[in-house]
Structure 1
């Protein structure tokens, strides 16, 4: 038994784990991996003097290779972290000064082609400092004339992308970390100083031209069809209405809107028949070149790279007449994906894409005995089995990231996949015949009608909301246990060994205990006071007091309530709030443990009404803060972001001097009594 014959996917997963784990854990695992490698190397030396069983030797060799891949992942992450730290260190002065600086950048990506207001760029120079890093640019107006490869110079502030400052808010910083971007800038005016048009930029320019042609007003496609065609074949989903996107998510068919193996497979079939006049070997080479061109034309997303890489491995193996298992192909794709773009390890789409195809490989064989002989029924069963296989594997990630799960995915996939298959083929033919007026009109009409059927079907299925489950939150502990249960149950089926069944039952018991413990924690957290971060109206002060399923919302400016309505709705959904009460903010807010005393600009008393309170300092109270703390010592001081910077700085100095803990909402975001 040779460890290299063990699935390469197995080792690539260790590379992924090594790159994903946090630095503190990485340091620990480096030591553990080093010790294990040392011990196993020692065992190899002892083999000269001892006779060891072949099974032990195999396990030892596999452990060594797995440790090496894990350490390689940790090393790659450490090197990337050091590069990011060096970049942030170079511009640290500009980040702290909050001053407008001259920045020269090269546009590398248009984030939303519909709006053309958000771009990604490579920084070339900040003032006189030459730096190398990425930045997110935001414009106040549409910039349709700005293209990939343009070199621009502008004056603005450089800001770090901050973590979410409100409870339940989307973690934009984590999202951008997956793209290797840590800095952002808002641009009003800029100067075009040059153009750099390499082959990649030329491909993206062609992509933009195709998108503009599709959405031209003379195009007879319906607006919905234009948006769907752009998403299915060019990977640009910004033209699709948010309501439609939400419906696709609710019924579990969002994957059809992201270019993946289904789309690449259909493109492969079309290309195979298109170039059928070529000899077999040349035809395969041409198809590969077109597919890799398509990777860049569609925006170089992780799912497209994975699918085309796997097709490439499959095709090359056929050309050289070598068998290659699908597991090895996935493992190679995962390995090279992480080597080419290591930041993808944090990309949710990347994780979902690979987990979906891994699930198909390992769970589809479970259904091989249950196919009918009738071709039509067999095709329907194939869709059902693929959908079920994907959903089994994706359940942990869906619950962990999105806290929801829908049982409508089987029905939805039965309807959507055949329609999308027709739409992708129609779309490819339509794009190739756009300049043939009569033919394109007929194909466009057909594409629009099939789009209407697709949207109508998804809308009908999404109305069956009693099959959808929300607020199904998983902790990290429960997520790992659920993954373990699925893996061990699959091994128990394939290996037919009672040991796997016993271990699966033990892990399932731990999972149930985790739910009980988690449930007990939730019972203890039935009361919470939250002070949300107000980003727009600084003087607005809002406090939420949650007790079981009732939320008491307090505010001093009710006309600004809509500013935080999105955060409020997210909070209500997460904690299943059934009743919301409204009241004005008084001088004191009840809290379990330490009550909260609210100090605003109207507060003038130095004597606090209670002992050892939590002080919420908002706006600018007309008092000597240090003298007040001499009279009464609080348990904590919370600085609302409405406090002027100069006043807050003096108060923080007093807190540090008197060793009083404080929470700065401008820096740390919202405050909660459960923090």
Structure 2
């Protein structure tokens, strides 16, 4: 099947490439306007000349692709908030603490210490401003929850979103930047609530809470209720960590994120319920279309308009419209057009992991359909139904495998077994959940009865997933995988599928070449990692942590009794392509090449005779730093993340006075000596 023969597909791919390029280059809109005009003139010119030639020339195709690429860059630039004159970053100064007014727009997933919200800015020092901040509220100071629409005035200078700053670890700051969030503020005694704005965000949360509260009469356990909230309303913020990890390890986390699976089920139910309207000629079919589109979009709004649900609803909207006009539009074009609409409205969707995984899975299922549709192992429909679930699950997993390895570094081997049971269960659970939700407002007694079946079903599903996830040896974790390996892996899959369609010699050679390229990239990457030597002082909060990487082995220095569970150690070992790890106690004196490193901890004990090149301060030692510097004269001072912030501030001032470089890992990330 020649996917690229469908004209919308390559255009969307080039548009996406333009958006990705724009995110790195970030040219000004004025420059891109000029490029777009030039590209459009070239496009019109080549289009006109294409009618003048007997044989088609590639110029028009090239100009179309170039125009799509430039439009992608322009779309990103137009949607990039700091490019707007009213963005709050243009109004912040270092001279005074700003007075920021805005409102809570959405609650997002909290961590162990803080509740988190998106905060949309209305004004800075009473001057109109736009933009979005991440605001956090410490859980130990959490007197009451904040809600969408709550208007807040904050007297605080926004700080850049905190970077973890350790090698090969997930960069939360970069992730938030892709969501157009660049700064954060911790709410404590620096804000007041002054009212509420009843806008789109307010009513979305308000109606969602009404639906959630309607389940209170069932007295579900938190584990059951949180799964129901995830399935029906896309709310996973309060999901139990252990249950969430079970679904990840079993390879079925996708059933908890509202996506094409859930929307497809709803679409099928709606088509079934509204089928009698087809008997009322064209008006009945139009009414069916309007009801379907209205229900799907209301459901998407209530569920929070996440990337996955919007993608699915947009796609099924195009399918609905196509069915209304009795046009069996090509599925690739439907996928591409839905992607086009999303990227034009919000180009940041391109960087959303769920968005990427969703499209990769859908594309794989549709593209490989001619291959797996031939598989019929039984004359019984029920048997073939379960076989289809397994095969489609395998195809979808193949489509997302390179991305899964790149983002999550793990592969659940038992995912086919988990999916063959979980997908039918989640289908029944979704149908029962919608019925119970409706009955909560219509007939409470019947709702309680049906709700018991729903509870039992969710409990069984959680238990089954937990059983599958308990086989830890069947979950391959901490797999090192780079972006270049991801691209080359997709190349292997693409040529493999093409060879499956048509077993030609040229395609076989192309597949073998792709495999060789993948091996070369992996070997080169591993060789570079093995020949890289470094000494790292980590940004680790609970215990001081240092590492000496030498060839294909790493020696970690720490006094942490649970060091092997430390995510910084796992991430560094994975990113270094090694599993040869040694854990040693952290001593006061360390050596790396010609560098002598002195570590002073809370005891404040050190050898005055040592003249270190690098001084590491850990666990807030009570020392007179100025006198210490006069005694041992280090070249660099490093304060790791185990120190009090007040101490770090004082030490920084002392080092500035003494003109000695000072590095605080909590502010700048890990310190690497090469």
Regarding TM over 0.5, the answer is yes
CA 1:637–1:154 in 2, change beyond 3 Å: closer, same or farther?
A: closer
CA 1:335–1:243 in 2, change beyond 3 Å: closer, same or farther?
A: same
Which residues of 2 match residues 581-600 of structure 1 at below 5 A?
A: 581-586=583-588, 588-592=589-593, 594-598=595-599
SS in 2 for 1:92: coil
The offset of 1:308, in angstroms, is 1.0
* Offset from partner CA, 1:88-141 (integer Å, 9 cap, x none): 532432xx56x7643211121122599993221211123333321101222234
SS in 2 for 1:125: strand
Whole-Å Cα distance in 2 between the matches of residues 487 and 36 of structure 1?
Answer: 31
Q: 1:311 aligns with which of 300, 312, 316?
A: 316
Match of 1:419 in 2: 425
Whole-Å Cα distance in 2 between the matches of residues 52 and 148 of structure 1?
Answer: 61
Q: 2:365 aligns with which of 333, 337, 360?
A: 360
Whole-Å Cα distance in 1 between the matches of residues 38 and 511 of structure 2?
Answer: 29
Q: 1:505 aligns with which of 501, 507, 512?
A: 512
Q: Is the contact between residue 153 and residue 191 of structure 1 (CA under 8 Å) also seen in structure 2?
A: yes
Match of 1:462 in 2: 469
Match of 2:135 in 1: 137
The offset of 1:638, in angstroms, is 4.6
Q: Is the contact between residue 106 and residue 152 of structure 1 (CA under 8 Å) also seen in structure 2?
A: yes
Q: Which runs of 5+ in 1 are unaligned?
A: none
* Offset from partner CA, 1:239-264 (integer Å, 9 cap, x none): 33111111111121110000111111
Deviates more, 1:572-581 or 1:664-673: 572-581
The offset of 1:469, in angstroms, is 1.6
Match of 2:280 in 1: none
The offset of 1:341, in angstroms, is 1.8
Whole-Å Cα distance in 1 between the matches of residues 564 and 197 of structure 2?
Answer: 42
Number of residue pairs the alignment of both structures matches: 644
Whole-Å Cα distance in 2 between the matches of residues 448 and 290 of structure 1?
Answer: 25
SS in 1 for 2:70: helix
Match of 1:295 in 2: 300
* Offset from partner CA, 1:54-101 (integer Å, 9 cap, x none): 3xx2x43333222221111112223344635853532432xx56x764
Match of 1:608 in 2: 611
Deviates more, 1:199-208 or 1:139-148: 139-148
The offset of 1:662, in angstroms, is 7.2
Which residues of 2 match residues 255-654 of structure 1 at below 5 A?
A: 255-278=254-277, 279-372=284-377, 373-435=379-441, 436-494=443-501, 497-525=504-532, 528-535=534-541, 541-545=544-548, 551-554=555-558, 565-568=566-569, 570-571=571-572, 581-586=583-588, 588-592=589-593, 594-598=595-599, 608=611, 613-614=613-614, 616=616, 621-623=625-627, 638=638, 640=640, 642=643, 644-645=648-649, 647-649=651-653, 651=655
Whole-Å Cα distance in 2 between the matches of residues 626 and 501 of structure 1?
Answer: 70
The offset of 1:607, in angstroms, is 7.7
CA 1:192–1:653 in 2, change beyond 3 Å: closer, same or farther?
A: closer
Whole-Å Cα distance in 2 between the matches of residues 454 and 48 of structure 1?
Answer: 61
The offset of 1:428, in angstroms, is 0.7
Q: Is the contact between residue 17 and residue 69 of structure 2 (CA under 8 Å) also seen in structure 1?
A: yes
Whole-Å Cα distance in 1 between the matches of residues 498 and 143 of structure 2?
Answer: 54
- Superposition TM-score, scaled by structure 1 size: 0.84
The offset of 1:508, in angstroms, is 1.7
* Offset from partner CA, 1:419-440 (integer Å, 9 cap, x none): 1111111111110101412211
The offset of 1:13, in angstroms, is 1.9
Whole-Å Cα distance in 2 between the matches of residues 582 and 607 of structure 1?
Answer: 22
Whole-Å Cα distance in 1 between the matches of residues 401 and 583 of structure 2?
Answer: 36
SS in 2 for 1:132: coil
CA 1:593–1:529 in 2, change beyond 3 Å: closer, same or farther?
A: same
CA 1:596–1:200 in 2, change beyond 3 Å: closer, same or farther?
A: closer
Whole-Å Cα distance in 1 between the matches of residues 230 and 84 of structure 2?
Answer: 36
The offset of 1:220, in angstroms, is 3.8
Q: Is the contact between residue 114 and residue 239 of structure 1 (CA under 8 Å) also seen in structure 2?
A: no
* Offset from partner CA, 1:257-302 (integer Å, 9 cap, x none): 0011111121122223333443232122111111111110111011
Q: Is the contact between residue 151 and residue 192 of structure 1 (CA under 8 Å) also seen in structure 2?
A: yes
Whole-Å Cα distance in 1 between the matches of residues 19 and 173 of structure 2?
Answer: 18
CA 1:579–1:322 in 2, change beyond 3 Å: closer, same or farther?
A: closer
Deviates more, 1:307-316 or 1:198-207: 198-207
In the alignment, does 2:233 pair up with 1:205?
no
CA 1:110–1:615 in 2, change beyond 3 Å: closer, same or farther?
A: closer
Q: Is the contact between residue 551 and residue 577 of structure 1 (CA under 8 Å) also seen in structure 2?
A: no
CA 1:439–1:144 in 2, change beyond 3 Å: closer, same or farther?
A: farther
- Superposition TM-score, scaled by structure 2 size: 0.84
Q: Is the contact between residue 104 and residue 147 of structure 2 (CA under 8 Å) also seen in structure 1?
A: yes
Match of 1:120 in 2: 118
Match of 1:158 in 2: 158
Match of 1:18 in 2: 18
Q: Which runs of 5+ in 2 are unaligned?
A: 278-283
Q: Is the contact between residue 602 and residue 622 of structure 1 (CA under 8 Å) also seen in structure 2?
A: no
Whole-Å Cα distance in 2 between the matches of residues 24 and 198 of structure 1?
Answer: 34
Q: 2:100 aligns with which of 98, 103, 107?
A: 103
Which residues of 2 match residues 208-227 of structure 1 at below 5 A?
A: 208-214=209-215, 216=216, 218-227=217-226
Q: Is the contact between residue 225 and residue 447 of structure 1 (CA under 8 Å) also seen in structure 2?
A: no
* Offset from partner CA, 1:374-407 (integer Å, 9 cap, x none): 2112211211221111111111101111111122
Whole-Å Cα distance in 1 between the matches of residues 594 and 650 of structure 2?
Answer: 31
Whole-Å Cα distance in 2 between the matches of residues 566 and 291 of structure 1?
Answer: 40
CA 1:33–1:513 in 2, change beyond 3 Å: closer, same or farther?
A: farther
The offset of 1:233, in angstroms, is 0.7
Q: Is the contact between residue 120 and residue 135 of structure 1 (CA under 8 Å) also seen in structure 2?
A: yes
Q: Is the contact between residue 6 and residue 333 of structure 2 (CA under 8 Å) also seen in structure 1?
A: no
The offset of 1:650, in angstroms, is 5.9
Structural RMSD (CA): 3.8
Whole-Å Cα distance in 1 between the matches of residues 246 and 521 of structure 2?
Answer: 32
The offset of 1:236, in angstroms, is 0.7
CA 1:41–1:281 in 2, change beyond 3 Å: closer, same or farther?
A: closer
The offset of 1:668, in angstroms, is 2.1
